[in-house]
Structure 1
C-alpha cells in the first residue's frame, strides 16, 4: 500500500497551479514533520528541536513561521477542517442525489479523513480543553457545521422530504454531529479495517436517515 499523503502534501496538490515560495515550502515541511511525529506521541512530548530537525530548518526559521508548537497544531487543524467541510458538502449540497447516497458518501469521506489524519484531529480536539485559541477555533468549526446541517434539515423539511420537528433542526444537527465526531474519534484509534469502517458508516447512515427523514431500512 502506498504511503498516505499528509495534510500539508494534500494542500500543496490543491495549490499546485501557483508557484510556491520558499516560505510555503518551509511551512509545509514543518507541518508534515509535526503530523508524522503526532502519529506516535502527543504534542507535549514533541520538542521544537525535533520539528526543526525533521523539517531541515533552524530554530530561528521555525519561530519566523510559528510562534509555538501549539501554533503548528492550529495550522494543521485549519487545513484538516477545510477538508472536513468538503466532506460534509456531499450531503449539504446533494442536489438530486438520494439522501441515503449523499449521507453515506459524506460519512465515508469523514471517516476516511479521520483514518488518514486521526493523530492531528485527536491532538486538536484534546488541545481545545486547555488551549483557548484551539477552543475558539473548534467552537467556530462546530458552529459552522451545525448551522449548515440545520439549514439543510430545514430545507429538507420545507420540501416535505424530512420529518418535521421536534426537535428543532439545530438541536438535531448538534446531536448528530456530536455522534459523528465521537464515533469517528473512537474508530480512528483502532487498527484499519475496511469491513469495520463500512459497518460504522452503515450504522451512522441508518441513524441519520431515521432521525432526519424517518426512513427505515
Structure 2
C-alpha cells in the first residue's frame, strides 16, 4: 500500500486524511523530501533501523519539520503507501460497478495489488513492520481497509438482488464474506512481499478462484 502522489490541496483522498497531520499539498517540497528520504533509507535498512534524525538529515530539514507532518516514522510509512491505496481504490471502483465478466474484474483488482507491491517491495515490508509494532498504525490500516470491505459487501448484496449471485440460506453474510476475502488478500500479499508461498501467478489464480467462488457460488 502506497508512492509519493498524495493528491492536490483541497482534493485530499481518504488515506491522506487518515495519515497526515496537515492538509496534503502536492507542491509541498519539505514533505516530499521527507518521504523521498524515508523511501531511500528503507531500500538500505529496515524500518526499525531507520530513525527520524536520519530521515530529516537526508531530507535537509529539521526533526521538528518531520513531526510537523507525521506523528512517527511508522505513520510516514503509511504516507508512502498512499499510491497503493489509490490504486486499490480505483481497482475496487471497477469491481463494484459490477460491469462485465466477474472473474476479469476480480483478477484486475488482485493484480493491481500485486503490481503495487512489486513496485515498492521495500516499502511494503516496512509497512508490515509498522503494523506489527505500532497499534496506532494497525488501527489506521484497518480503518482504510474497512472502506474497501464495505464496498465489496455492498456489491455482493447487489449481485444477490440481481440474481447474479446465490441468495439463499447457504450464502454467507455479505459483510463477513468481504472481511474474510480481504483477509485472504492481506495474508497473500504479506507472504508474497516476504518471498514466501507460491509464485505470483499461482497466488493470484488461487485468490481469484476463492473470490469468485465466495461471491458467486461457483468458479465458473
Q: TM-score, normalised by structure 2?
A: 0.78
CA, structure 1 residues 197+132, in 2 after alignment: closer, same or farther (shift >3 Å)? closer
Q: Deviations over 1:29-84 (max 9, x none)?
A: 11122123223432221022321233232334334433432342243345543332
Among 98, 121, 124, the alignment partner of 1:121 is 124
Q: Which residue of 1 aligns with 2:49?
A: 45
Which is helix-richer, 1 or 2? Answer: 1
Say how many residue pairs are matched: 202
**Partner residue of 1:72 out of 72, 76, 80:** 76
**Hey, what does 1:182 align to over in structure 2?**
187
Unaligned runs of 5+ in 2: 12-24
Q: CA deviation at 1:20?
A: 5.1
Residues in 2 aligned to 1:178 and 1:117: alpha-carbon distance in whole angstroms: 21
Matched, 1:196 2:192: no
1:130-145 matched pairs, under 5 angstroms: 130-145=133-148
Report the RMSD for the aligned CA atoms in angstroms.
2.8
In structure 1, list runs of 5 or more residues that go unmatched: 1-5
2:159 aligned to which of 156, 160, 164: 156
Alignment counterpart, residue 110 of structure 1, candidates 110, 113, 135: 113
CA contact (8 A) 1:48 1:69 kept: yes
- Describe the shift of the 1:132–1:188 C-alpha distance in structure 2 as closer, same or farther (beyond 3 A): closer
**Contact 1:90–1:103 under 8 Å retained in 2:** no
The structure 2 residue matched to 1:34, chosen from 30, 34, 38, is 38
For the residue of structure 2 that corresponds to 1:155, the secondary structure is helix
Q: Which has the higher contact order (CA 8 A, sep 6+)?
A: 2
CA distance in 2, matches of 1:25, 1:209: 44
TM-score by length of 1: 0.79
Classify the secondary structure of the residue corresponding to 2:120.
helix
1:83 aligns with 2:79: no
Aligned to 2:17: none
